[in-house]
Structure 1
Amino acid sequence: MKKKIHPKSYKIVAHCSCGNKISFYSIIDSDIYLDVCNKCHSFYTGKQRTLISGSRSERFKNKFDVSENVLL
């Protein structure tokens, strides 16, 4: 590598809101703060919330309180 053309890298720590700390090298000189990381994000943890909703007709009936016995 050529000398004096590459930016200086610093070891920094990324602090997550869950308490996890990740250390790595960056050209930024200060620590960073994250909202989510791979330890607390639902995609990586496998704790995704799945919304199982019924068919369109069931949602309509629930929304407008339509019973099965009503003749149209």
Structure 2
Amino acid sequence: MKEGVHPEYNKINALCACGNAVELGSVLSEIKVEICSACHPFFTGKQKLIDSAGRIEKFNKKYGKTSAE
């Protein structure tokens, strides 16, 4: 790499709103994120499928169930 052309690359801690810190390299001085792999529902397995508006029932009522007979 040429001198004086590239920004300085530092090891920093990326901080999540849940309190998790991940060490990584970046040209930024700090990184703050709202959600990370430690608190994201997809990665933690705590994801809940919520049908709050009754969308499935509304779809079945509108289009009806087709039988594959």
Aligned residue number for residue 66 of structure 2: none
Report the CA distance between 1:46 and its aligned residue. 1.1
Q: 2:24 — aligned with what?
A: 24
What residue ranges of structure 2 are gaps of 5+ in the alignment? Answer: 62-69
Q: Does 1:55 align with 2:57?
A: yes
C-alpha distance in structure 1 between counterparts of 2:2 and 2:58, whole Å? 65
In terms of Rg, which structure is larger?
Answer: 1
How many percent identity over aligned positions? 38
Q: Hey, what does 2:10 align to over in structure 1?
A: 10
Task: Note the alpha carbon deviations across 1:14-64, whole angstroms, 9 max, x for none.
Answer: 111111000111111x1111100000011111111112445228x8xxxxx
**How many residues matched?**
56
**Structure 1, unpaired ranges of 5+:** 60-72
Q: Distance in 2 between matches of 1:55 and 1:14?
A: 43
Q: Take 2:7 and 2:58, find their aligned partners in 1: how far apart are those partners? A: 57
Q: CA RMSD in A?
A: 2.3
Moved over 4 A (4+): none
TM-score normalised to structure 2 length: 0.64
Normalising by the residue count of structure 1, what TM-score does the alignment of the two structures yield? 0.62
